[in-house]
Amino acid sequence: MRILIYSYNYAPEPIGIAPLMTELAEGLAKRGHKVRVVTGMPNYPERRIYAGYRHKLWSTERSKNGVVVQRNWLWVRPKPNLFDRILLDGSFVLLSLVHAIKGKRPDVILLTSPPLPVSVPAALLGWLHRCPVVLNLQDILPEAAVHTGLLTNKTMIRVFEALEKFAYKTAHKISVISDVFVDNLTSKGVKEDKIALIPNWVDVNFIRPLPKENNAFRQTYQLEGKFVVLYSGNIALTQGLETAIDAAVRLRHIKDIVFTIVGEEKALNRLHQYCEDRGADNVRLVPFQPREKLPEMLAAADVGLIVQKKNVIAFNMPSKTQVLLASGRPIVASVPPNGTAARAIKQSGGGLVVEPENPDALAFAVKDLYADREKAEKFGQQGRRYAVEQYSFEQALDRYEALFAEVSTAPATIRNPLPN
């Protein structure tokens, strides 16, 4: 089967949707499918196009397992305002469509959202090639952006609401990552038989429990003999890493406990000043690690940390949740209690959930696991077992293959939802 994956983010970007779409593309190609990816020049999370990809309008490369990757230039600014975001989406929509048309006709198109405007070129390609479009929802926009205060312009809210309706209408199937998404979509009039629940995954053979002894990450960052509380990933408005730093300050008297935050350099510089102001000398700030070192970095932790603010909407599911569960380390999650992350951790038995933006509660949970290593180990074992049973990569591949087979054999009249 010829599969076109339309994703704004892709490798070598280290976090977010990029690793997931990269694994999916390469996994499908390994199973014998002809996979082509349309994406932008890598720029996230620095919001600066990576060296080696600059000064190019388009490029085409062949990656692992023969995946063809078509990239296009993007309007990217380190601190984007509303106008910059419009130009970013516009540059990807227009330039990606020109590039995507050059490839062979796909049997199915998989579109990842956000961003919502990409539903327009994906729908046009589906119409031109008379092939189905599967919409993969990683977040629900504009609802999530409005809820967190990232989108306040009333005109733009109406535009994105129209794009949301367009995306749902023109997709032949919508794959969602949690049952909370299903409830949200059906409340907006999407028929339940149009929705497929396929949770995000983790490669449980790559991410696996490893010993802390002789760990290079611990050795490099002077963490040997310490009780390491690890956060790794995006550092943005929705995370609120200040809560973790404030919790660390409350535990300074326990010299063994060290909070380690791994992230993008500019964001770390901002947190460095916050640490200085709070006297958080038990916080280590570490730059992103290469993906091949991810299992070793996770193995350096005694506790994995997930942090979100109170206003994060319920269906937001950090991709690090599955990764931390698979690593076999206990989790402390400072997240909204009704959210998908909290639900996954409770169902897995993989850790503790505490009130978001409450450093006292976070510090208490960390101290609890520091004092009770047997409980911590049990959480880690339960989380690992749940990840293998519920989030394995091979299961996700099976589900996507079945979904693609279903839509590609649907009657032709169902394949063309665009109005004449």
Q: How would you write the pLDDT of the chain (420 residues) with one tens digit per residue?
A: 999 999 999 999 988 889 999 999 999 999 999 999 999 999 988 889 999 999 999 999 998 889 999 999 999 998 888 888 889 989 999 999 988 898 889 999 999 988 888 999 999 999 999 999 999 998 877 676 766 666 777 888 888 888 889 999 999 999 999 888 898 899 999 999 999 999 999 999 999 999 998 999 999 999 999 999 999 988 876 568 999 999 999 999 999 999 999 998 888 988 999 999 999 999 999 998 888 899 999 999 999 999 998 877 666 678 889 999 999 999 999 999 988 889 999 999 999 999 999 999 999 999 999 999 999 999 999 999 999 999 999 999 999 999 999 998 876 444 454 454
User: What's the CA gap between 228 and 259, in Å, rounded?
Assistant: 6
- Claim to verify: residue 253 and residue 400 sit in the same structural domain: no
Rounded to 5 degrees, φ, ψ at 260 are -125, 120
The total number of structural domains in the chain stands at 2
- Claim to verify: residue 122 and residue 243 sit in the same structural domain: no
User: What's the CA gap between 173 and 417, in Å, rounded?
Assistant: 11
Rounded to 5 degrees, φ, ψ at 406 are -65, -50
Residue numbers of the domain that contains 399: 2-201+392-414
- Claim to verify: residue 264 and residue 189 sit in the same structural domain: no
Domain contains 211: no
Task: Give 214's contacts (C-beta < 8 A, 6+ positions apart).
Answer: none
CATH number at residue 235: 3.40.50.2000
- Claim to verify: residue 238 and residue 106 sit in the same structural domain: no
- Claim to verify: residue 288 and residue 339 sit in the same structural domain: yes
Domain contains 224: yes
* Structure tokens given for 46: 């620095």
* Structure tokens given for 280: 């958080």
Burial class (CB in 10 A: 0-12, 13-18, 19+), 125: buried
pTM of the predicted model, to two decimals? Answer: 0.88
* Structure tokens given for 199: 């949770």
* Structure tokens given for 174: 């919508």
Domain contains 61: yes
